[in-house]
Amino acid sequence: MNNFRLFLGLRLSEAAAEFLSSKMTSLVEQGLTFRSWTHPADLHVTLHFLGDTPASRVPDIGALAAEAAAATAPFALALTEAGTFGPPSAPRVLWCGLAEPAARKGALAALHAALGARLAASGFAAEARPFRAHVTLARGGAAGCSPAALVAAWHGDSAAPFVAPQPESAPRAQEKPAWTADGCTLFRTHLGRKPSYEAIGCYPFKS
């Protein structure tokens, strides 16, 4: 059976991707050691990870994604703080958070829920982890990537703070690139290739 490794997500604007690419370069130059850094062309916001999926299901996923997208109005997003998942002494993931304007706050979570309901109705397993929107920057931090080291490196070229993982606390928005999300994308992952993600379906939001 021919399987594709798939996920649904949002693309970043060119300005947001360039900002984060510059930030990652700066962190590397300052000696932050992670096993792998995200290729600038692969920066995205994951909505639903589908994993290894029969290629025959791609049309079904496309149809339900198009349906959810057609019921969603475009909404604004902005980059906020950096943070980590995993042990502070050797973080598993380095990420950048997202914020929405007060007038449309919750639009991203609503899209995630709409897609999740349709995926579940089509027989896809529900994700166990709660949705926490972010852009993954790097994975597999070494021992030298302690919160103190990350704070120092992040402040090396920006006034934006680095925050250790605190799920219960609200993100603090900063002056960062903002853009309007106007559609969602179905991505296929090509393991061992950089960039790794291929867009195989794009679904515009309602106009």
Q: Is 112 labeled as catalytic in the residue annotation?
A: no
Options 39, 112, 134, 190, the catalytic residue: 134
The secondary element (H helix, E strand) that includes residue 6 is strand 3-11
What amino acid occupies position 194? K
- The 10 Å Cβ neighbour count of residue 23 is 20
Structure tokens at 92: 């598993």
Phi, psi of 15 (to 5 degrees): -65, -40
Domain definitions of the chain by residue range: 3-204
| Alpha helices, DSSP H, located in the chain | 14-29, 58-70, 107-121, 147-154
List Cα–Cα distances, 203 to 72, 179, 206, in angstroms.
11, 17, 10
CATH of 3-204, one of 3.90.1140.10, 3.40.50.460, 2.60.40.10, 3.30.470.20: 3.90.1140.10
Structure tokens at 41: 């062309």
Q: Is 134 labeled as catalytic in the residue annotation?
A: yes
Per-residue pLDDT of the chain (207 residues; tens, 9 = 90+): 699 999 999 999 999 999 999 999 988 888 888 999 999 999 999 999 999 999 999 999 999 999 999 999 999 999 988 888 888 888 899 999 999 987 788 999 999 999 999 999 999 988 888 999 999 999 998 777 776 777 677 666 443 444 444 443 333 434 578 999 999 999 999 999 999 999 999 999 998
Options 44, 48, 112, 190, the catalytic residue: 44
Q: State the pairing for strand pair 162-163/75-85.
A: parallel
* CA–CA distance, 64 with 152 (Å, rounded to integer): 44
